[in-house]
Amino acid sequence: MIKKVRLLIALAMLTIFLTACGGGSSSGSAAGGQDAGAAGASQAENQQDAVTIETIQTDIPAGGVINTEGYGSLSKTDPTWQTAPQYALIGADGEFVFDYGAFPCRIELYDGIFVNGIVQDQVEGRSIGVYSLFDLSGTQIIDQTYDYLSFFNGYGVGITRTRTGEDAFEYVDDRVVINTDGEEVLTLPDGFNLEVSIGGGDFEFELRTWTMNYFGSVGGYGDGLLWVSTAADIEKNISEAQGLTKETPGILEKCNQIAWYGGPYCGYIDLQGNVVIPLQYYSALAFSEGLAAVREYVAPSVPIEELSYGANLGGLWKYINKEGETVFGGYTDASNFQNGYAYVANDEGKYGYIDLQGEVVVPMMYDAAFGAGDGLFTVGQNAGDQIRYGMVDAENNVVVPLEYDDISIFCNGVAYAIKDGTVVILQLT
């Protein structure tokens, strides 16, 4: 059954706030060659001083969706979790670019390039793969492969892992920064040894040792800077703050907490490996449009072993410029700026949007937000036992009803949503 809805917003408003969300690409060769079953779009009516948003109901199954350069990156999960999640990519015409099963990882485009895995072998029922760069035809575009590869805004971090002992968990990670041609432009320095425990509850604890890279994580690239974190002084900081060491049982039972509870280690480096903004934050996001969101470390008031798993030791989020200066802040949650806007949350956990001057554009009154594109802002509101999503304009008028299970931003005039387990395509006309 075809469901057609036309939603009108003022053309003058849209013209002011219409912004590009990234380079668009024409649809690549369909890996599956399959029609996704789009029911078809209704014809747009020419209406003076108004824009129509048309909804196109498809029969494509999905549980989640993001918009990546105008394409819908879909995901669906086996409710029993007996099989791994599956991912697909569709175009605005409702046809698959890559059908479910074509690639093992979510497809997120950056200038028409994406990172994905190449399955090499099976070990005890698990797929073991390596990662490389692909284009929209599904062609691998560099010869190099990595044990892990993340890619963002023209640069990526590849990780190669070398086993250093007989134990499967004795290894050293080497990290390099690559560009879109696969050229290695920066090698991140080595670090130190750290013992942690994997397990908990009724599981038997087991010590596993590896050499951590000095830059333990690389979270994103933007405005010429890489977000990085390190845990190089974990033992020292734990000892000074709590009188504890890494041999203390309470520490070993919380291996995932060590990196965060040891103290502040997030900052920014340039592509020559120089530290530009010291590694001093508890959390940080990549720079975007001249600003980055960070938050300070707040020392716990109780010993680390008494903290609940996943306890939050970060302060309020603030935005800094490339000189490390605070521009504005005071948020309990924050995002990168995208198309001139970022979503933030107040101390009541309500979300809204701010502009690059820190001025509130959409009031903090919603239960969720995903981002802004083409002058429209995604928002979510609790509806019983789940959140329903839609969109508002810069005057907080509801443009897309808050009735969807998931929704993406608008990009290149198209957005994607999920309702009743299938994809709905939203198009600006």
For residue 275, the model assigns a pLDDT of: 83
| Res. 232: pLDDT tops 50 | no
Residue 234 banded pLDDT, cuts 50, 70, 90: very low
Burial of 410 (0-12, 13-18, 19+ CB in 10 A): buried
For residue 193, the model assigns a pLDDT of: 37
For residue 273, the model assigns a pLDDT of: 81
b/e burial code for range 311-341 (CB count within 10 A of at least 16 → b): eebbbebbbbeeeeeeeebebbbbbbbbbeb
For residue 21, the model assigns a pLDDT of: 54
| Res. 191: pLDDT tops 50 | no
Contact by Cβ (8 Å): 319, 329: yes
Percent of the chain with pLDDT over 90: 42
Q: List the single range of 185-194, 205-214, 322-331, 391-400 with lowest mean pLDDT.
A: 205-214
- Tell me the average pLDDT across 276-300: 87
The SS3 assignment for 187 reads strand
For residue 206, the model assigns a pLDDT of: 40
Contact by Cβ (8 Å): 56, 16: no
pTM: 0.78
Residue 365 is inside which H or E element, if any? strand 360-366
pLDDT tens track for 332-350: 999 999 999 999 999 999 9
Q: List the single range of 143-157, 192-206, 313-327 with lowest mean pLDDT.
A: 192-206
| Res. 12: pLDDT tops 80 | no
Token pair listed for 235: 């033992």
Residue 218 banded pLDDT, cuts 50, 70, 90: low
If one compares 242 and 128, the residue with the highest pLDDT of the two is 128
**Rounded distance between C-alpha atoms, residue 161 and residue 171, angstroms:** 6
If one compares 275 and 329, the residue with the highest pLDDT of the two is 329
**Rounded distance between C-alpha atoms, residue 351 and residue 198, angstroms:** 36
Q: Assign 3-class secondary structure to 26-75.
A: CCCCCCCCCCCCCCCCCCCCCCCCEEEEEEEEEEEECCEEEEECCEEEEE
Residue 219 banded pLDDT, cuts 50, 70, 90: low
| Res. 260: pLDDT tops 50 | no
